Amino acid sequence: METIVLVTGFVVAYLIGSIPTAVWVGKWFYNTDVREKGSGNAGATNTIRVLGLKAGIPVIIIDILKGWFAVWMMRYFIPPGWDKDMVIYAEIVAGIMAVIGHTLPVYAGFRGGKGVATLLGMGIALYGWPVLISVVVFAVVLLATGYVSLGSIFGGAVFPFVVVFYYHITNPALVGMAVFAALFLLWTHRKNIQRLWKGEENRILYGKRKK
């Protein structure tokens, strides 16, 4: 019975992550499917690019909350008596399920976003302050270059080092998740990396790509 309850929690986390915020905001309020325009990505960055900040800000806030809530609500599905390490493992799985839901949303034909905002929400729930340093790195790179993708990549890359060397977190699950997050961001941004290398990536702050 405990296993069924736990698995149910993971399924709920996936369904929460699957809420296609960008798609629904675009269709309901702008009669536009953001996946058919811009980068074709159902995330906040492309929403801002296609529909503007007014549409993009609610999208990013809700997408962050999806990751945070998926971790938080697992306390109601975890069997009583579990030790702290086991609870962390369950929360990590729930967070990952939410990110998978965002990238492969059941409500939107499994065509979602890259999961950066949802991963951030998961990180806030699991790590707290260490995430802030990665957010600062992201912001600095974004302001300096205008590339959201580059900011996301750098923010993710520094995160494991912040976790291990600055905050001295030693829990194997949290360290492993930090490394996974960095690699996940590299993988989801592989096409952006190719465009950056070719000088074809779009800037979000300073207009489109520099010729």
Tell me the pLDDT of the chain averaged across its residues: 92
pLDDT of residue 205: 59
CA atoms within 13 A on the CB side of 144: 9
> 159 lies in which domain range?
128-211
Q: Are residues 80 and 13 in the same domain?
A: yes
- How does pLDDT run across 150-172, given as a tens digit for each residue? 999 999 999 999 999 999 999 99
pLDDT of residue 204: 77
Q: From CA 34, how far away is CA 175, in angstroms rounded?
A: 35
Q: Are residues 13 and 87 in the same domain?
A: yes
pLDDT of residue 103: 95
Q: Are residues 208 and 140 in the same domain?
A: yes
Q: Are residues 55 and 110 in the same domain?
A: yes
Is the model's pLDDT at 100 over the cut of 80? yes
Q: Are residues 122 and 133 in the same domain?
A: no
Q: Are residues 8 and 48 in the same domain?
A: yes
- Of 127, 150, 167, which residue sits at a domain end? 127
Q: Are residues 34 and 84 in the same domain?
A: yes
Percentage of the chain beyond pLDDT 70 is: 97
pLDDT of residue 206: 55
Mean pLDDT of 180-198: 92
Q: Are residues 80 and 7 in the same domain?
A: yes
Q: Are residues 21 and 60 in the same domain?
A: yes
Q: From CA 73, how far away is CA 91, in angstroms rounded?
A: 9
94, 71 in Cβ contact below 8 A? yes
Q: Are residues 135 and 103 in the same domain?
A: no
- How does pLDDT run across 111-140, given as a tens digit for each residue? 999 999 999 999 999 999 999 999 999 999
Q: Are residues 48 and 83 in the same domain?
A: yes
Cβ atoms within 10 Å of 45's Cβ, excluding its own? 27
Q: Are residues 112 and 146 in the same domain?
A: no
Q: From CA 43, how far away is CA 52, in angstroms rounded?
A: 12
* Res. 210 pLDDT band, cuts 50 70 90: very low
* Res. 208 pLDDT band, cuts 50 70 90: very low
Q: What is the tally of structural domains in the chain?
A: 2
pTM: 0.89
Q: From CA 116, how far away is CA 127, in angstroms rounded?
A: 16
Mean pLDDT of 18-27: 96
- Of 127, 156, 182, which residue sits at a domain end? 127
- Of 127, 160, 194, which residue sits at a domain end? 127
